[in-house]
Chains A and B, each alone.
Chain A
Amino acid sequence: MGDTAHRTVIARYSEGERINHWIIAITFVLAALSGLALFHPSLYWMSSLVGGGTWSRILHPFFGVLMTISFVLMARAVAKYNRMDARDWQWLREMPKATSHDDPRLPEVGRYNGGQKILFKLLVASMALLLLSGIVIWRSYFSAYFPIGVIRIAAVVHALAGFVLVCSIIGHAYMAIFAVTGSMGAMTRGVVSPGWAWRHHRAWFRESIRAANPRTRAD
């Protein structure tokens, strides 16, 4: 402790979790670009980023399927940390009024806070809807098996679920990259500083240091 050449860090995500997260992130960006391109004419230029309109149409569903598979792997691992309990609702209620992270009205946060848990549920719901509706409107392989009325409903559901997913990820990326400094390290090198864990996820911090002595790592 206090060694200037070393800093103490707390492990948050394993190598596999990080690789999987970035597969989801990349396929999401590609699926979002190719999907938004086909959603509104003002965004059609995005199709050129994946090779044009026809390539957008060809690749978009595959990006989506890859994203969904990777997300299922991630969701299976983190679902147990994302169950809402009374403390999460209390945290969500009090958070906007809180003056600091030490505000006594705020319950201590575990591995994920109430906002992150709601985000998780939004992601699960929107990706499930996107997958199901996406299969129905995947003209090359599947649309022929569905009646036209179902295809039309699926087109609307796909657009709405895509909207929810894109907005959710904008919020997620903003929080992780800009708003809560120190978060990115969790998904790049897999670690956070003890102060970050103390400030944002105090209950998880206590568990972590109880479970295993923090490792020290050369910077």
Chain B
Amino acid sequence: MALQSLDIVRRSATTTPSPGVRGPATGEVAKLIDVSKCIGCKACQAACMEWNDLRDEIGTCNGTLENPHDLSDQTWTLMRFTELENPQGDLEWLIRKDGCMHCADPGCLKACPAPGAIVQYANGIVDFHQENCIGCGYCITGCPFDVPRISKKDKKAYKCTLCSDRVAVGLEPACIKACPTGALVFGTKEDMQHHAEGRVQDLQSRGFDQAGLYDPGGVGGTHVMYVLQHADQPQLYSNLPAEPRISPMVSAWKGITKPLAVAGIAMTALAALFHYLRVGPNDTTAEDEAAAAREMEKNHG
């Protein structure tokens, strides 16, 4: 979403400060997804489509309620359904609302080469500004959660905005508003962590010893967090990464390689210049021509 913003803390491919005089007086925001309360009704998915005017293609049934089968430029949030047979032999239906995690250390933003195509607001929301997007897909390469999708229609990258347009005017994200069970809650990150503590204690008291909050430190924490019954095994939830972090390959590529290579190229050009200034051109002399002429005469003769 493109709005005039004065609260940008990070901007892709930008080396000078971004407009940032406005701070988040109320602190950073977060969405908390309590998987244990989710009934898989997909009201959030529908609300996301409605608010953002998105309509994915009518798909096919793959035997689960998961539909469509993947995130796309038209599907910014997706309920992923896992049927788990636990060690006690019971069925657990693990339903995870997938979408952008709004990382504090966003791999997409780090990888993006287009100035201002990805911004991070002071409230923690990571937003794509599609008018600056060039469609290279580096955000996909950088994302530890496999979230951004390039549109086939306009070749721009899309993902959940955490309803930055709604949040900017004091509303909660559309998905939160639609959730009928209270599985989705929204507020300051601090409040959400506090709320999650209570939920985790409740789950633990009911036999989910490993219940916990998913707020992975490898990406600096996220502004979308999960309460998981099995926080020790996040991968049970449709392969939620256990220890997400920006890949060392992406860090190397977008970290040290960039300044070193640019410096290396500049040094190469400067070395050539200084070589010329010091040594000068290697001219062919009259003696060379004369020697060559003698040699050619000899050859003729």
Whether the Cβ atoms of B15 and A160 lie closer than 8 Å is: no
A170 within 8 A of B: yes
Whether the Cβ atoms of A1 and B284 lie closer than 8 Å is: no
Name the one of A163, A193, A206 contacting B265, with C-beta atoms under 8 angstroms. Answer: A163
- CB neighbours of B279 from chain A (8 A): 179
User: A193–B268 Cα gap in the complex (Å)?
Assistant: 29
Interface string of A14-54 (1 = CB under 8 A from B): 00000000000000000000001111111110000000111
If A44-B113, A194-B296 touch, whether A155 touches B138 (CB-CB below 8 Å) is yes
Interface string of A137-149 (1 = CB under 8 A from B): 1011001000011
Whether the Cβ atoms of B265 and A139 lie closer than 8 Å is: no
Closest to B294 in A: A198
- CB neighbours of A143 from chain B (8 A): 137, 140
If A53-B114, A143-B137, A182-B284 touch, whether A195 touches B257 (CB-CB below 8 Å) is no
Whether the Cβ atoms of A57 and B134 lie closer than 8 Å is: yes
- Tally of chain B residues near chain A (CB < 8 A): 52
If A170-B269, A181-B283, A194-B292 touch, whether A41 touches B14 (CB-CB below 8 Å) is yes
B74 within 8 A of A: no
If A41-B13, A194-B293 touch, whether A156 touches B253 (CB-CB below 8 Å) is yes
Whether the Cβ atoms of B258 and A178 lie closer than 8 Å is: no
Query: How would you classify the secondary structure of chain B's contact residues: helix, strand, loop or mixed?
Result: helix
B63 within 8 A of A: no
Whether the Cβ atoms of B288 and A195 lie closer than 8 Å is: yes
Least CB distance from B131 to A in Å reads 10
- CB neighbours of A193 from chain B (8 A): 284, 289, 292
User: A206–B291 Cα gap in the complex (Å)?
Assistant: 12
Whether the Cβ atoms of A195 and B299 lie closer than 8 Å is: no
Name the one of A152, A180, A194, A213 contacting B249, with C-beta atoms under 8 angstroms. Answer: A152
User: A198–B291 Cα gap in the complex (Å)?
Assistant: 8
If A1-B293, A148-B146, A209-B299 touch, whether A179 touches B281 (CB-CB below 8 Å) is yes
The 9 closest A-B pairs by CB, nearest first: A139-B137, A195-B289, A194-B292, A195-B288, A198-B292, A152-B249, A174-B272, A53-B134, A38-B113
Interface residues of A (CB under 8 A from B): 1-2, 8, 36-44, 52-54, 56-58, 101, 137, 139-140, 143, 148-149, 151-153, 155-156, 159-160, 163, 166-167, 170-171, 174, 178-182, 193-200, 205-206, 209-210, 213-214
List 21 interface pairs A-B (beta carbons < 8 Å), by A numbering.
A1-B293, A1-B296, A8-B293, A36-B265, A41-B13, A41-B115, A43-B262, A57-B135, A58-B135, A143-B140, A148-B146, A152-B141, A163-B261, A163-B265, A167-B264, A170-B265, A179-B279, A195-B284, A196-B284, A199-B288, A209-B299
